Amino acid sequence: MNSYRLIHRVVPYQYEDVFGFLTRVAVRNHVSGLEALLFTLLGKQHSSVLITNLPRLAEYCRNQPEELLTLSGIEQRHSNGSRLWKVNDDWITKSTFISSRHAKICPQCLHVSPHIRGLWSLSLYTSCAWHGCALVDSCPACHRTLKWNRRHVCQCFCGFDFRLATSPSSSTGSSLIARLIAHQTDTSISLATDLLSNIETERLAKLSLDGLCKTIWFLGHCLGELGSFGAGHGCVRPRIDDAEKIITNAIALINRWPTRLIDHLNNCSRRPPMGTAGTLMNRLLGPAQHYLAEELQTDELTFVRAVYEQQLLAIWRTFGRPHQLRKLDRQLELDLGEW
Amino acid sequence: MEKKAAALSGTPADRSEFTRTISISVDSYRQTNQFIDNLIERSKRTKRPGGLWILGDGGVGKSFILDAVYDRYEPTETQTHRYCPVLSLSFASRPAESDILLSLLIQLGQDPTTIRYQNNADLQAIVLDGLVQCGSLAFLFDEAHHLFINVHAKRNMDRLGGRNGDFIKRLYDESGMACIFAGTMGLAEFIASDTQAKTRWSGTIRLQHFANDAKFRGLLQAIDSALPMPALSGLATEEFAGKLYVASQGNFRLLKSLLAEAVFIASSEGSQNLTLAHLARAHFLCFCTEETPFGVSR
């Protein structure tokens, strides 16, 4: 760490991504790259900018510390080991929802103002809330995935200017979720949709950003993709295609709330349980059960928890009588024996 | 007077150092500073502010003048900006273009190891960008003869000016900053032979050693009142002035070195002023001779 500072001050945009901001700082000051700047600033190869780094960051980049507090993507670590990520004015509690290394852009937004929006680092934000187009995560010219540490925010390593890219159309589901996310800070964004009723949309709009992401993740991934993946898959940050599927699953369960969720849980309860140790309920709904207990305990998510737990109780009651699951178990054993 | 009062309360070493840096507004010093202030002022309103050549032998006060200018226009640092009105460069030998540019970048406050450039043109563009940002107005080049005179060059045309000369002219043209060069009298030949340099930086002042005359006594009187000693020593009197001239040969640097040592000795002893005995011992410490103009040093 030395006493040098940068010469040129770059003013951050509100809700700009911290790595995008540092990329602009590096370019303006002719620094060889984002990683070199992070190395100079933080002393080692850092994958995140902590809130405790902000005074040093502000000093080196000639910003006021309070200016940098408007940036997105800053991480906070607590002594109990929990981690939080700032996105716009909200805090995200799960690393799965932040994919700052999987860069995404909206060409039209870059055309309006060449800076990286903090929302683009959200895994479940796959469409532009302002332009209605899908976000782009690979270069239209060289077809390589966008690099988070590219030299210019608007330019690929191959030299292609992203502002010249055509914007692909987005699905209605991802467009709705993107608008719900953006609505948290820009209430002028319309939430009108044919996918959900007004009541369902308003319920989602009232959630915090973290609560909204957890709801979509729980319904779309934990329940929607139950049994599709092995253990540990929930830790993988979804790319755009994966996120689209999760969003589609989640919207399907939210639609006609809570009927479809109840139907889905009933269907899940009729499936053969996993052949692992644990209670029957854990073997049936393991990842969803675990996620609910760990992450969906806040008051704002009571509407999801209540439906899920009531239905679980109803399923449990059916287990008191001779249950078809037992027949299924036996049938499975029989099938395997024949195999 | 406030500075003198502060120095008087310091240690003998502090008082000695204060003596080395005393500014006395003799004619040449005042004239040079006035010219430089005007140059810097002109840099704010024109892209061709001009420049000044300060020529003279060693010890006549060239570097002292540049140091005083730098102190007057020292860099200031705020949370959001760095202001660097003058940039000072000094050379021990003939520098490369990149040495000059990197030195400038360091003075502007940026770590040169972090920047990306492929050649000197890139580096120059980065420095010029920084100069504008930091509100820079003038370059101070000390020991400028290393910049323009290359005694090792095989061709005559390279001995004076050469690549560095062309580079400094380009830097001046593109930055629009005043250039102040301080160097030995050898530079006079370069200035006379290079009309491009002479027309860009037309101001010239030649600093001379002092003659043993009334001006020298006036200088001694001013120094006497500025010395960090509780009482005057009478340096301008016949008893001291002639001996001080013999000891220093009218060279300002030698004179101040001698007086600084004498101040250290006198203040260490708790004396109220300088005496011939102090000066004799100081003379020995400066020149290693026991027979001194002030008497025998024991």
The beta-carbon neighbor of B130 closest among A4, A7, A37 is A7
- Is the CB of B110 less than 8 angstroms away from the CB of A64? no
Q: Tens digit of pLDDT for each residue in B258-267?
A: 999 999 999 9
Those residues of chain B whose CB sits closer than 8 Å to some CB in chain A are: 77, 79-82, 108-111, 114-117, 126, 129-130, 133-134
- Report the pLDDT value the prediction gives residue A45, as an integer from 0 to 100: 66
Q: Does A30 touch chain B (CB under 8 A)?
A: yes
Q: Hey, which residues 33-92 in chain A have their CB within 8 Å of chain B?
A: 33, 36-37, 40, 58-59, 62-64
Q: What is the distance between the alpha carbons of residues A174 and A172, in angstroms, rounded to a whole number? A: 6
Taking 90 as the threshold, does the pLDDT of residue B4 lie above it? Answer: no
Taking 80 as the threshold, does the pLDDT of residue A335 lie above it? Answer: no
Is the distance from CB of B161 to CB of B148 less than 8 angstroms?
yes
Instruction: Tell whether pTM > 0.90.
Output: no
Q: Tens digit of pLDDT for each residue in B149-168?
A: 765 555 555 556 678 888 99
Q: What number is the average pLDDT over the span A169-185?
A: 94
The beta-carbon neighbor of A40 closest among B111, B130, B133 is B111
Which residues of B are less than 8 Å from A4 in CB distance? 109-111, 114
- Report the pLDDT value the prediction gives residue B155, as an integer from 0 to 100: 56
> pLDDT grade, residue B15 (50/70/90)?
very high
- Is the CB of A62 less than 8 angstroms away from the CB of B110? no
Percent of chain B with pLDDT over 70: 95
Which residues of A are less than 8 Å from B116 in CB distance? 30-33
Nearest CA in chain B to A10: B80
Taking 50 as the threshold, does the pLDDT of residue A102 lie above it? Answer: yes
- Report the pLDDT value the prediction gives residue A333, as an integer from 0 to 100: 44
- Report the pLDDT value the prediction gives residue A332, as an integer from 0 to 100: 44
Q: Can you point out the beta strands (E) in chain B?
A: 51-55, 76-77, 82-83, 86-90, 138-142, 178-183, 203-206, 291-292, 295-296
Q: What number is the average pLDDT over the span A201-207?
A: 94
Q: What is the distance between the alpha carbons of residues B22 and B25, in angstroms, rounded to a whole number? A: 10
- Is the CB of A29 less than 8 angstroms away from the CB of B110? yes
For residues A322 and B73, the model is more confident at B73
Q: What is the distance between the alpha carbons of residues B32 and B60, in angstroms, rounded to a whole number? A: 13
Q: What number is the average pLDDT over the span A243-247?
A: 93
> pLDDT grade, residue A64 (50/70/90)?
very high
Helix (H) / strand (E) containing B35 = helix B27-43
- Report the pLDDT value the prediction gives residue A222, as an integer from 0 to 100: 87
Least confident of A56-60, A131-135, A330-334: A330-334
**A226: distance to nearest CA of chain B, Å?**
49
- Report the pLDDT value the prediction gives residue B7, as an integer from 0 to 100: 86
- Report the pLDDT value the prediction gives residue A339, as an integer from 0 to 100: 39
- Is the CB of A59 less than 8 angstroms away from the CB of B82? no
ipTM: 0.79
**A39: distance to nearest CA of chain B, Å?**
10
Taking 90 as the threshold, does the pLDDT of residue A2 lie above it? Answer: no
- Report the pLDDT value the prediction gives residue A277, as an integer from 0 to 100: 67
Percentages helix, strand, coil for chain A (3-state, rounded to 5) are 50, 10, 40
> pLDDT grade, residue A336 (50/70/90)?
very low
Q: What number is the average pLDDT over the span A127-131?
A: 96
Percent of chain A with pLDDT over 70: 87
**B171: distance to nearest CA of chain A, Å?**
19
For residues A283 and B11, the model is more confident at B11
The per-residue pLDDT of chain A, averaged, comes to 87
Tally C-beta pairs within 8 A across A and B. 52
- Is the CB of A30 less than 8 angstroms away from the CB of B115? yes
Taking 90 as the threshold, does the pLDDT of residue A209 lie above it? Answer: yes
The per-residue pLDDT of chain B, averaged, comes to 91
- Report the pLDDT value the prediction gives residue A337, as an integer from 0 to 100: 40
- Report the pLDDT value the prediction gives residue B150, as an integer from 0 to 100: 67
Is the distance from CB of B19 to CB of B260 less than 8 angstroms?
yes
Q: Tens digit of pLDDT for each residue in B181-221?
A: 999 998 898 888 888 889 999 999 999 999 999 999 999 99
A163-187 core/surface letters (b: 16 or more CB in 10 A; e: else): eebebeebbebbbbbbbbbbbbbee
- Report the pLDDT value the prediction gives residue B153, as an integer from 0 to 100: 57
- Report the pLDDT value the prediction gives residue A331, as an integer from 0 to 100: 46
Percent of chain A with pLDDT over 90: 62
- Report the pLDDT value the prediction gives residue B91, as an integer from 0 to 100: 83
